[in-house]
Structure 1
Amino acid sequence: MLHLILSIVFSTSLFAIFKYFGIYKVNTLQAIVVNYIVAFLLGMLSANTIGSIGTIGDQPWFLGAVALGLLFVTIFFVMAKTAQYNGVSVASIAGKMSVVVPIVFGIILYKESTSFFKLIGIVIALAAVYLSSVKDNESNNKGRLLFPVLLFLGSGVIDTTLKFIETNYVSEKEVDFFSGSLFGFAAFFGLIILIIKYFVLKEKFELKSIIAGVVLGIPNYYSIVFLVKALQNKNFESSQLFTINNVGIVVVSTLLGLLLFKETFSLKNKIGVALAIIGIILVTVA
């Protein structure tokens, strides 16, 4: 149970850290790149696979890891903008509700069974993302919905792709090596973007971005580590654990938004949060 609680705490802290990036005018992309470098080093050191870095190109999952690395840095940036622009609760809901995307892919591509709970969960997920994001009496609601929708779809595509590659190309002994490689490729693509911005836009690297990246990278890495450790607990079924984890992150993020950042919630937003919790439970049960 301790590992599960720590996973929820570290995962929720990511949304709060992104919110502070906006408050303190941190260069989000620079911090995200540093974050992935930190996560990559922590992963490789923990797995004791630093000496195997040169063999990454020979692995059957190499191209998949490259594609996922690019997706990682892109969607993490979208997550940051969602937390800054829409609030930590909306970012957590859009991210956690994306679990329905792999389900839809499974139904379409693999002809998996459809149940009443699955269909209702998908509908609730879409409604939850919309209702939690929209604001009453605002003319730019379409703009407000852009980042949550991109986060919802992007996170779902990452989950779907990750599951496919791990199932078909990654052995149990290579999970740490593969995961660390994903962080490495994300850092690589992020650095390319920063180099281009440096020469084209003359954008200089900021010291506070390095500090912010380290602050982000440590909880980002350990949110995954503690989730994996929680999954190894035989007292919990994975469906129970993912339900508790996802609902916990949504609830704690919402409380953080209310208490720490003084975010305001309309009736629609409150219904959206409630639907998110219900939807997560239904989808996980299905």
Structure 2
Amino acid sequence: MHNLILAILFSVSVSVLLKIARKKNIIVEQAIAFNYIVALSLSYFLLKPDFKGLEFTDYIAQSDSAPIFFALGLLLPSVFIIMSKAVEFAGIIRSDAAQRLSLFLPILAAFLIFHETLSQSKIVGILLAFIGLFCLVTKPNREQSAVNFKGIFGLVGVWFGYGIIDILFKQVAKSGGAFSATLFISFSLAACVMFIYLLLKRTQWTVPSFIGGVILGVLNFFNILFYIKAHQSFGSNPTLVFAGMNIGVISLGTITGALAFKEKISKINWLGIIFSLTAIFCLYYLDKIWA
């Protein structure tokens, strides 16, 4: 459980950094690009990826994990870009809701792809998790305008993209010790995609964005590392990790927003936190008791 808790803490730290980025003159797109350089460096020096005696390009061509790291390498930066467009055309509230409710896809995959056993306590936990999420993402209605086609496309992209990334990280966890090479290559490809995107935009590079990117890279690396380790710890219970990570981040993020940024928590948001904690109890403790 400690790996999941650490993953949640690092994920919320990433959100806090991105929230204060604008005030610190950090261009988020640049910080994301530099973040991947730091993440792949940490992957190389801390995880020591094993390329099985092959050259880097030969390993990419011959590895069974090639579909996974190619998908992650493209999706990680692409979903960020799609998220920014969704916020622009549909608003931050709808975009955040789409990201959180993408939990539906990995939960579905837990039973259809990873063949998790569906118990009574898990059914109750999943229902409570989604009720909690709906309560947590419910905000005062400040967006009266309808969503246009670009907004709908962005929201669908956010929902689908984040859901698929969660599923791919579970697949990475299943590779055991080989996950370090997959992570290293994924971060390398993501860095290439992000830097090409910024070069095409002819961005003006800034020092604060570089510094922010270094900090973001450290936080993001450990967020992903502990998330994968959590999946390895609960190999037969991916639902717990999928749901626990999602509702843990938004619950802690909501409390952090209230304490650090004076954001208001409505009664329905507090109710969502209670439902979320109850869902974790059902998915972990109650499932162990009834097993």
**Residue 180 of structure 1 aligns with which residue?**
184
Residue by residue over 1:99-118, the C-alpha shift from the partner in whole angstroms, topping out at 9 and shown as x without a partner, is 54222134456776555444
User: Cα 1:186–1:214, aligned 2, differ >3 Å: closer, same or farther?
Assistant: same
CA distance in 2, matches of 1:252, 1:148: 23
Residue in structure 2 matching 1:103, options 80, 104, 107: 107
Q: For the aligned residues, what is the CA RMSD?
A: 4.1
**Residue 12 of structure 1 aligns with which residue?**
12
**Residue 160 of structure 1 aligns with which residue?**
167
**Residue 254 of structure 1 aligns with which residue?**
254
- Superposition deviation, residue 266 in structure 1: 2.3
- Superposition deviation, residue 124 in structure 1: 4.0
1:250–1:277 Cα contact (<8 Å) kept: no
Residue by residue over 1:182-235, the C-alpha shift from the partner in whole angstroms, topping out at 9 and shown as x without a partner, is 11111111112112211xxxx32222211111010011112344456677889x
**Residue 136 of structure 2 aligns with which residue?**
132
1:207 aligns with 2:207: yes
**Residue 53 of structure 1 aligns with which residue?**
56
CA distance in 2, matches of 1:165, 1:245: 16
Residue by residue over 1:92-151, the C-alpha shift from the partner in whole angstroms, topping out at 9 and shown as x without a partner, is x976765542221344567765554444444444444443233334343876x9788765
User: Cα 1:272–1:6, aligned 2, differ >3 Å: closer, same or farther?
Assistant: closer
1:32–1:77 Cα contact (<8 Å) kept: no
2:98–2:156 Cα contact (<8 Å) kept: yes
Percent of counterpart pairs with the same letter?
28
CA distance in 2, matches of 1:122, 1:141: 32
CA distance in 2, matches of 1:232, 1:110: 13
Residue in structure 2 matching 1:71, options 72, 75, 87: 75
Q: What residue ranges of structure 2 are gaps of 5+ in the alignment?
A: none
Q: What residue ranges of structure 1 are gaps of 5+ in the alignment?
A: none
Please give the TM-score of this superposition, normalised by the length of structure 1: 0.73
Q: Give the length in aligned residue pairs.
A: 272
- Superposition deviation, residue 13 in structure 1: 0.7
1:220 aligns with 2:223: no
1:133–1:148 Cα contact (<8 Å) kept: no
CA distance in 1, matches of 2:244, 2:254: 15
The answer to which of 4-13 and 109-118 deviates more is: 109-118
- Superposition deviation, residue 270 in structure 1: 2.6
**Residue 271 of structure 2 aligns with which residue?**
271
User: Cα 1:117–1:211, aligned 2, differ >3 Å: closer, same or farther?
Assistant: same
Residue in structure 1 matching 2:195, options 191, 196, 202: 191
User: Cα 1:244–1:212, aligned 2, differ >3 Å: closer, same or farther?
Assistant: same
- Superposition deviation, residue 240 in structure 1: 11
CA distance in 1, matches of 2:283, 2:102: 11
Amino acid at match of 2:163: G
Residue by residue over 1:6-43, the C-alpha shift from the partner in whole angstroms, topping out at 9 and shown as x without a partner, is 44432221111111124335221211111011101110
CA distance in 1, matches of 2:145, 2:261: 21
